[in-house]
Amino acid sequence: MTRKLGFIGGGNMAEALMRGLLERRVFTAADLVASDVDARRRQKLRRSLKIETTESNLAVLRDSRAVLLAVKPQNIDAVLRELADAGQANAGDMRQASGKAKARPVNRADRLFISIAAGITLGRIAAILGAHARVIRVMPNAPAMVGQGMAAIVRSPSAAKADERFALRIFQAVGDAVALGDEALLDAVTALSGSGPAYVYLFVKALADAAIAEGLPPGLAQRMALKTIRGAEENMRLSTTDAAELIRVVASPGGTTEAALRKFAEARFSDIVANALHAAAERSRELGRS
């Protein structure tokens, strides 16, 4: 049967996407298929999600209308070459006809390819799959694994608006997703939302560690830091007031918050954040060129 979506790579992000699609009833288990080199991952996906799994990437390509490439950036070229050569694949990997193995070439133009490999450009994918390949490049982030992801997508010139809408449906099943018109913006997206969860974890750890140093028990310090972050995020998201005004509301003149903010300013906190994001964006550009 033809699946609506196939996954090449069945790691944590792929599993989160499949789970979100099933829980939101965007697709059924019968609509999905996944390949992975690890037999244990395939078994886990079969048991927990009730989907079909295979060790063959070509089987996923053959049987799916859209293929989501969820492999590591360092492995994607080899996978793309395997897919590009699908028409010349070993006859033993193709369907049987009249009791004899018969190669059935796969028309890649009939498939939509969606890549979540960080830093791998549309041009690099098209150079292997062909200029007419329909490709969507996506930068998701780790909170997708708890249904709170933020993804940005860009389509290739050969991909249609319908392809873009299809990709948005996938990533909106695990959070929010937006379509961008300029692929170059994905480097900034990578630096902000792609790497951003690590910055938040670092800040929460720093808050908790500092509170522990002031005498709070570790468990309580962690709990209070997390709740503070969550409450501030909710307030900021729902408020019509800008960030500067929200800060002023909390920071009473001569108070504790003002004393803390003065230390942030002395340490040039905003410059530290800006330099960190710039470094991440530059690294994303380097990965795209390598």
Task: Specify whether the CB–CB gap between 159 and 177 falls below 8 A.
Answer: no
Which of these, 125, 127, 116, 135, lies nearest to 186 by C-alpha position? 116
Burial class (CB in 10 A: 0-12, 13-18, 19+), 129: buried
Which tokens go with 175?
Answer: 């959070």
Q: What is the pLDDT of residues 209-235, one digit of tens each?
A: 999 999 999 999 999 999 999 999 999
| Pairing of β 134-139 and β 149-155 | antiparallel
| Phi, psi for residue 52 in degrees, rounded to 5 | -80, 140
Q: What is the pLDDT of residues 183-210, one digit of tens each?
A: 999 999 999 999 999 999 999 999 999 9
Does domain 5-182 match CATH 1.25.40.10?
A: no
Task: Specify whether the CB–CB gap between 141 and 149 falls below 8 A.
Answer: yes
pLDDT of residue 95: 45
Residues 6+ away with beta carbon under 8 Å from 210: none
pLDDT of residue 93: 46
The rounded distance, in Å, linking the Cα atoms of 151 and 255 is 39
**pTM recorded for the entire structure:** 0.85
Class of the domain covering 196-289: mainly alpha
Topology agreement, domain 5-182 and domain 196-289: no
DSSP, residue by residue, 41-106: HHHHHHHHH--EEES-HHHHHHHBSEEEE-S-HHHHHHHHHHHHTGGG--GGGSPEETTEE-----
| Phi, psi for residue 85 in degrees, rounded to 5 | -90, 15
DSSP 8-class letter at 241: S
Query: What are the structural domain ranges in the chain?
Result: 5-182, 196-289
pLDDT of residue 107: 59
Among left, alpha and beta (phi > 0; psi -120 to 50; other), residue 7 is beta
pLDDT of residue 100: 41
Task: Specify whether the CB–CB gap between 158 and 134 falls below 8 A.
Answer: yes
Give every residue of the chain whose pLDDT is below 50, as ranges. 88-104
The rounded distance, in Å, linking the Cα atoms of 215 and 212 is 5
| Phi, psi for residue 23 in degrees, rounded to 5 | -70, -35
Q: Quickly count: other Cβ atoms within 10 Å of residue 233's Cβ.
A: 11
